[in-house]
Amino acid sequence: MKRKAGLLALVSLAGASAPAHAYLDPGSVSLAIQAIVAALAGAALTWKHWYWRLRDLLGLGRKQEPETGDSGGDSRAPEDGDHPTHRR
């Protein structure tokens, strides 16, 4: 019974408010949009961080190639003519 009376009072007070006649300038709207975009970006990065941590925890992370000791490439140092950006 008390909950019904409290809810009725709350609804009555909310419906009886006077108009605010407020003005939102472009700076306020820009700030609100910036806050929404920042919150979405933060949520996306947080989700990405925890997603990869959960994958690593469950052992579903990226597969690593077995190390054979050979890097697979040429082990000598590049000479002057070997560098791809070197022009003669």
- Per run of 10 residues, the mean pLDDT along the chain (length 88 residues) is 81 74 86 97 96 90 65 58 56
Decide if 54 is inside a domain.
yes
User: What is the total count of domains within the chain?
Assistant: 1
Query: What's the pLDDT at 63?
Result: 66
Rounded Cα distance between 56 and 71, Å, is 25
Rounded Cα distance between 59 and 53, Å, is 10
Range of the domain at 53: 33-59
Rounded Cα distance between 70 and 10, Å, is 75
Decide if 40 is inside a domain.
yes
Is 79 in contact with 86 (CB distance < 8 Å)?
no
Decide if 46 is inside a domain.
yes
Decide if 26 is inside a domain.
no
Rounded Cα distance between 77 and 81, Å, is 11
